């Protein structure tokens, strides 16, 4: 070996930095080397990629053996763990390994555990191991979800492997800089990249560098965020999504105490200011101007829909598309756009799974894309609404599975169009939920399992919307059982999602009350409107905007250093002197009318113009 003092080494570097050539030079004098190739073969029509692979193969001496792990990336940990003390491994590279690891063909899986297994195998190995990996932490944050997913996953892998290795070196423009240990090992050489027919440049000794300052490791724990590949998005538990600003919210609330507000201030609506500040990342949030309502239409078959009028939910969806109905009118009044989203129909939960596993994956990805499309269109706030048949029962089933609730306790009474309670329908729905829970009593309670067995299409799409909105830092107004059920499911996929949700009102619904308590969402109001899921949120939207407008535009109180010129000057009127105080004409009493014929002319009357928005009778 050309470098002494280490057993395992991680070689980092950018594209065309010379990292692979440097790694190969470190094992050039080993008797035998097992080259572990991690990258897939790639597109056969991509000649440039094929040329790169051929160049790598041509550099390997004939005494080296090659082992490929692209067909099963989890086998890399086994290869490292079973290598003997007399063996030398060269793993090139971890970027290709992560690409294959995140492929949906190898999902679902716990990718974080797979990285930890690799790191543990490196620590315990007695073999000489050199691992090559691209360094992605020095570039800009990618602008695409796919790029961000790869850099996040590879960055987490590099941190875990670097912590497990004895030494780490960073190659920049062919020049190695030793990051771990503090001083560079002796006698290492960096070959210059040779062109066709050229020999490598003479070896140059590595410079010694001081050890970097010790950093806190609280933020550096290996995580796998948003695993995505070219074939689609893979949503799985443990995703690391952004959180609202921890400081902007409290700062905005504290700032309210300095404003020139009369009386006791905004009361419970101060929470709106804190929420908007945290999600906008500023202590002076602005009102949401671009709002989009996502109306999810997905029916639930079987007992969950007992008591509903056949075709009523489809009529409501058509009505919303046409701009009619309560939800559409409220959206238009608030200046919000309305998008009707068709979700897959759920099968009877009491008889079998509501959705297949593939339908759950598709619904989650669809919801995620809806949120991304809204964010790309400049939407600042999303409102979740629903109009499917049987949504209350599906939400009750989800709450029973995720929070241990009793179905009758979280399913509200079934009310007919005439306003009467239909107890028979309520009993049927509760029985369907109980039967579904009994059927799945030995099934896993993971997020996707709950959606497949109990939740159905609308809750799955809503869950994807919450996750996608969280990833794009778009806040969401929840209003009803579908939204809060999605919140319960999303917390098991990414716990950050609930912090981007605001609940204006519980609507008197027991399911919403329980979910709000579990999720830590405190309703702002208690209006008890029953106009369909999403309508209450739209009805309260003008109030929420007004609160944010006051918080953003009111000046600081003069007693706290505010500009007194912001107030309107009060001019006291001058005292009135003798005579009339105004220039109005004096009132002259008319002379009495004597006897005589009355006039036929009509009385003159003053016409009062109609006020704006008032119709003349």
Helix (H, G, I), strand (E, B) or coil at 470: helix
Residue 475 has which token pair?
């806040």
Residue 473 has which token pair?
């830092």
Residue 138 has which token pair?
């020095």
Dihedral angle of Cα 283, 284, 290, 294, to the nearest 10 degrees: 30
Q: Which long-range contacts (CB under 8 A, 24 or more apart) does 192-195 make?
A: 192/18, 193/16, 193/18, 193/21
Q: Check if the beta carbon of residue 48 is closer than 8 Å to that of residue 15.
A: no
| Among 287, 252, 282, CA closest to 547 | 287
Q: What is the DSSP string of 38-53?
A: -S----TT-HHHHHHH
Q: Check if the beta carbon of residue 395 is closer than 8 Å to that of residue 484.
A: yes
Show the CA angle centred on residue 609, arms to residues 604 and 611, nearest 5°: 155
For residue 65, what are the CA distances in angstroms to 68, 132, 290, 393? 10, 17, 60, 60
Beta strands in 203-315 (DSSP E): 228-229, 232-233, 291-297
| Among 294, 148, 256, CA closest to 557 | 256
Max alpha carbon distance in the chain (Å)? 138
Residue 198 has which token pair?
């050229």
For residue 203, what are the CA distances in angstroms to 25, 90, 194, 480? 10, 21, 13, 69
For the beta carbon of residue 607, count every other beta carbon within 10 angstroms.
Answer: 5
Dihedral sign, Cα of residue 531, residue 533, residue 536, residue 539? negative
Dihedral angle of Cα 353, 356, 361, 364, to the nearest 10 degrees: -50
436's CB contacts (< 8 A; 6+ apart) are 349, 350, 397, 453, 454
| Among 533, 558, 522, 520, CA closest to 481 | 533
For the beta carbon of residue 82, count every other beta carbon within 10 angstroms.
Answer: 11
56 flagged as catalytic: yes
How far apart, in whole angstroms, are the C-alpha atoms of residue 412 and residue 393?
A: 9
How far apart, in whole angstroms, are the C-alpha atoms of residue 102 and residue 141?
A: 19
Q: Check if the beta carbon of residue 36 is closer than 8 Å to that of residue 90.
A: yes
Task: Report the DSSP beta bridge partners of residue 371.
Answer: none
Q: Check if the beta carbon of residue 100 is closer than 8 Å to that of residue 157.
A: no
Q: Check if the beta carbon of residue 494 is closer than 8 Å to that of residue 226.
A: no
Which of 56, 411, 438, 499 is an active site residue? 56
How far apart, in whole angstroms, are the C-alpha atoms of residue 373 and residue 371?
A: 5
Q: Check if the beta carbon of residue 429 is closer than 8 Å to that of residue 393.
A: yes
The residues annotated as belonging to the active site are 56
């Amino acid at each position: 070996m050309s470098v002494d003092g280490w057993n395992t080494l991680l070689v980092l570097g950018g594209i065309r930095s010379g990292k692979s050539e440097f790694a190969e030079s470190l094992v050039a004098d080993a008797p035998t080397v097992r080259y572990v190739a991690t990258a897939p073969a790639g597109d056969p029509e991509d000649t440039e990629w094929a040329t790169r692979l051929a160049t790598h193969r041509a550099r390997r001496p004939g005494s080296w053996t090659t082992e490929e792990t692209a067909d099963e990336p989890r086998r890399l940990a086994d290869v490292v763990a079973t290598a003997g003390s007399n063996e030398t491994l060269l793993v090139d590279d971890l970027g290709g390994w992560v690409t294959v690891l995140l492929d949906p063909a190898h999902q679902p899986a716990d990718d974080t555990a797979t990285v930890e297994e690799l790191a543990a195998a490196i620590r315990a190995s007695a073999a000489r191991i050199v691992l090559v990996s691209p360094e992605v932490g020095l570039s800009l944050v990618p602008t695409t979800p796919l790029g961000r997913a790869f850099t996040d996953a590879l960055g987490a892998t590099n941190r875990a492997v670097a912590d497990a290795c004895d030494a780490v070196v960073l190659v920049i423009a062919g020049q190695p800089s030793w990051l771990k240990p503090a001083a560079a090992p002796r006698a290492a050489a960096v070959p210059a990249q040779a062109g066709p027919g050229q020999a490598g440049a003479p070896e140059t000794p590595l410079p010694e560098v001081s050890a970097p300052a010790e950093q806190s490791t609280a933020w550096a724990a290996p995580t796998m965020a948003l695993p995505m590949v070219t074939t689609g998005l893979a949503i799985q538990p443990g995703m690391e999504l952004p959180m609202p600003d921890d400081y902007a919210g409290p700062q905005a609330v504290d700032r309210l105490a300095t404003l020139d507000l009369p009386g006791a201030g905004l009361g419970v609506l101060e929470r709106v200011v804190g929420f908007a500040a945290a999600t906008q990342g500023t202590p002076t949030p602005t009102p949401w101007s671009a709002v989009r309502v996502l109306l999810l239409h997905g029916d639930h078959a079987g007992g969950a829909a007992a008591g509903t009028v056949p075709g009523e939910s489809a009529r409501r969806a058509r009505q919303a598309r046409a701009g009619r109905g309560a939800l559409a009118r409220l959206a238009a009044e608030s200046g919000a756009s309305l998008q009707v989203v068709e979700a897959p129909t759920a099968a009877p939960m009491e008889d079998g799974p509501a959705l297949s596993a593939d339908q759950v994956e598709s619904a989650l990805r669809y919801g995620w894309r809806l949120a991304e499309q809204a964010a790309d269109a400049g939407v600042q706030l999303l409102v979740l609404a629903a109009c499917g048949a049987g949504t209350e029962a599906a939400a009750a089933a989800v709450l029973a599975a995720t929070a241990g609730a009793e179905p009758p306790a979280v399913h509200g009474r079934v009310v007919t169009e005439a306003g009467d309670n239909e107890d028979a329908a309520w009993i049927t729905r509760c029985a369907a939920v109980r039967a579904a829970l009994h059927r799945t009593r030995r099934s896993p309670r993971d997020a996707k399992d709950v959606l497949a067995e109990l939740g159905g299409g609308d809750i799955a799409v809503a869950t994807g919307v919450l996750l996608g909105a969280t990833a794009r830092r778009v806040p969401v107004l929840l209003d009803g059982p579908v939204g809060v059920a999605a919140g319960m499911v999303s917390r098991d996929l990414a716990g950050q999602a609930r912090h981007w949700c605001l609940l204006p009102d519980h609507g008197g619904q027991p399911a919403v009350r329980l979910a709000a308590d579990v999720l830590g969402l405190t309703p702002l109001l208690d209006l008890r409107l029953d106009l369909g899921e999403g309508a209450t949120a739209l009805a309260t939207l003008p109030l929420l905007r007004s609160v944010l407008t006051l918080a953003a535009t009111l000046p600081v109180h003069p007693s706290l250093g505010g500009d007194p010129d912001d107030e309107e000057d009060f001019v006291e009127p001058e005292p009135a002197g003798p005579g009339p105080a105004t220039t109005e004409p004096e009132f002259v009493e008319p002379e009495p009318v004597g006897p005589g014929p009355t006039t036929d002319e009509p009385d003159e009357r003053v016409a009062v113009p109609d006020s704006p928005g008032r119709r003349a009778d």
